[in-house]
Structure 1
Amino acid sequence: MQGRTELAPRTRTDVHTLESVALAATHKAALASQAWVGRHDKKAADGVATEAMREVLAGAPGRGTVVIGEGEKDEAPMLYNGESVGNGLGPDFDIAVDPLEGTSFCAKNLPGAMATIAFAESGTLWSPGPGFYMDKIVVPPPAKGVVDLADSPERTLANVAGALGKKVGELRVVIMDKPRHQDLIARVLRAGAAVHTPAEGDVGGSLEVLLPTGDADLLLGVGGTPEGVMTAAAVRGLGGDMLGRLAPQRAEEAEAIRAAGMDLDRIYTCDELVSGDALFAATGVTSGSLLSRPRETDGAVVAESLLISRGQVRRVAHTTFGSCPGTISVPS
């Protein structure tokens, strides 16, 4: 038919072509956060990290959809769920962001704050809808396939220990230090395992489990659902295992989940949370066991990142000439 214009089909996403964009986004967010390290204002720190990350993503090749964003829980004005970013000149892709993982760590200048992001093939990131919290298990590759959220903590510990060739007493378990975890922590300790209880940051805790250089054997407990999907991108990239189940913390959240037609009893596998090829990147904001904070050396600022892509982990040092933002910008 004359006069009709046929639109070219969207090309399949090779998310690994976006590695440099992912690293640039976390790098800029980490540098922007430096002015707020130790200033006890986590909302301001998160805000500048989000704005900096969004500036980079605006120029990303292609069209990205923020599936896991700052979201309703954080009352975010940008990088919210459903926002479209990128220059449109390329394929579609999905994005998960946490511009400042560990906002309290940054605000109080404690170890472990990071800027994080994940990219995945278009339509492959699971959207949690109104579900803010998720019960999770994360294990390293040797323990893949041996865990089940229906199991007791004691059985889980025994199964993971067997897969890793360890005794239960040799296991190191990450469980966030929250009132909801008091019984879980007590049971794990009674079983004989050691427990690391960070105040927040279950993405960082999961990386401790997944990375060969990490200092943990498994992660248990309830954390943020967005962080769960972010973690799943890293799990998929490294060949570990993860299971998740929605765990609403308030009646209103549970009611909203049911109204959305979602099953509170369903257990999601890693491949359901991220069903396509993905990559994960993080840059240190405050120094921790995984990454160092940006530091000044001979007139340049060096930031440390890690990239999980194509089944490999790469550590990347970014060098920016000039002073670190945290040393020249004092918020009024």
Structure 2
Amino acid sequence: MTDSEYMLPDGLLLSALQMTEATAIAAAAHRGRGDEPAAMAAAAQMLLAELDRLEADGRIMVGDSEMEDERLMVGTRVGTGGPRIDLAVSPLEGATLCAKALPNALSAVVMGLPDSLLSVPDVYMEKIAIGPGYPEGLVDLDMSPADNLQALAEAKGVQPKDITVCVLDRPRHGNLIAALRETGAAVRLISDGDIAAVIETARADLTGLDIYMGMGGAPEGLIAAAALRCMGGRMQARLTPLNNDQRQLVAASGLDPQRKYRADELAAGDIVFSATGISGGALLRGILSDANGIHTHTLAMRSARGSVRWVSSQHKHLPVA
């Protein structure tokens, strides 16, 4: 193979950016209206229209089961033809957040070379993530919460009490939250939106968030891992099925539930990532409208180029599904 065969076409970054912009605009029309299904349907319809226009031979490796649209399911072929790529998509991450106009709802798309994205089942995944500049293995899923915070604090040259940890506010995390608070660390609890939370660890200077810990969805974990790949962050993840149905899904996937996956094992090779804010947050502004049009804010990245772009766009016309 030549070097170019290990690289995605350059034009795909713009394609991914346009996809998430259009999808976020469609979802934002339902922001704060209290209707999650309507927001999800609008996002899915717009993303499907954008995927139909994609100049590539795409295969969805991580879809969105909550959308209940078989065209966004794993294995679906999309695009008009061209270079073969794999995709992970989340038309609306944080449907509840969007419906309630709460922070960190977003639309995200990941593109990679064929067989570069791990096709994770829709089960729970245990995750730990930190930003760039730290050695692999500094934090570990098999270390105690206190030991992880101590290791990170030492690497930062601070005390554990100076660390801020993000955890999904769920009953399953009760023991974890108690253990973290015993160290003196600050615990930021979120109701939803762990893709945004993991990404925020890569820009602690902007977000004040040092580390993410806990269980969330495996598809969201892969998308977040792809973002960290582009930003230089570190992540470990392990599939954590909580019932018989989830255990059967893991068994059918052929993946090892005991294995700890690094970010570059979840999303390998050349990665394109795009996420557009819907309701806004610490990293991405939400969709805004005024007399000049619709304004979007997108994080667009490419791992092979080492590029991280914050793109503010103005749209004179609504995207067409």
TM-score with structure 2 setting the length: 0.92
Alignment of 1:75-114 (within 5 A): 75-88=68-81, 90-114=82-106
User: Contact 1:296–1:323 (CA<8 Å) still a contact in 2?
Assistant: no
The amino acid of 2:273's aligned partner reads F
Alignment of 1:281 with 2:295, yes or no, is: no
1:164 aligns with 2:167: no
Q: Select the residue among 8, 11, 32 that pairs with 1:17.
A: 11
- The answer (yes or no) to whether the contact 2:238–2:260 under 8 Å persists in 1 is yes
State the 1:65 CA deviation.
0.8
Give the deviation of 1:216 after TM superposition.
0.5
Offset, 1:15: 4.9
In structure 2, the partner of 1:223 is 216
Alignment of 1:313 with 2:305, yes or no, is no
Q: Which of 41, 56, 62 in structure 2 is aligned with 1:62?
A: 56
Identity %: 35
| Deviation at residue 258 of structure 1 after TM alignment | 3.0
What residue identity is the alignment partner of 1:68?
V
Distance in 2 of aligned mates of 1:12 and 1:174: 35
TM-score, with length taken from structure 1: 0.89
Work out whether residues 8 and 113 of structure 2, in 8 Å CA contact, stay in contact via their aligned partners in 1. yes
Asked if residue 187 in structure 1 is aligned to residue 182 in structure 2, the reply is: no
**Unmatched 5+ stretches in structure 2:** none
CA displacement at 1:199 relative to structure 2: 0.4
Aligned to 1:329: none
Q: 1:209 aligns with which of 201, 215, 226?
A: 201
2:41–2:67: 8 Å Cα contact kept in structure 1?
no
Q: Match for 2:293 among 285, 288, 300?
A: 300
User: Number of matched residues?
Assistant: 313
**Aligned with 2:64: secondary structure?**
coil
Q: Sort the Cα spacing of 1:234 and 1:260 in 2 relative to 1 into closer, same or farther, 3 A.
A: closer
Give unpaired runs (5+ residues) of structure 1.
1-9, 326-332
* 2:250 matched residue in structure 1: 257
1:283 touches 1:306 (CA, 8 Å); kept in 2? yes
Contact 1:117 1:282 (8 Å CA) reproduced: yes
1:31 aligns with 2:56: no
The verdict on how the C-alpha distance between 1:138 and 1:15 changes in structure 2, with shifts beyond 3 A counting, is farther
Task: Say whether the 8 Å CA contact 1:15–1:277 is kept in structure 2.
Answer: no
* Cα offset, 1:59, TM superposition: 1.4
Determine if contact 1:284/1:291 at 8 Å carries over to the other structure. Answer: yes
The 8 Å contact of residues 214 and 290 in structure 1, kept in 2 or not, is answered as yes
Alpha-carbon displacement from aligned partner over 1:199-242 (angstroms, at most 9, x marks no partner): 01111001110125232101000011001110111111111111
Q: Deviations over 1:50-85 (max 9, x none)?
A: 1111211211122111101113x5533332111111
Take 1:308 and 1:198, find their aligned partners in 2: how far apart are those partners? 25
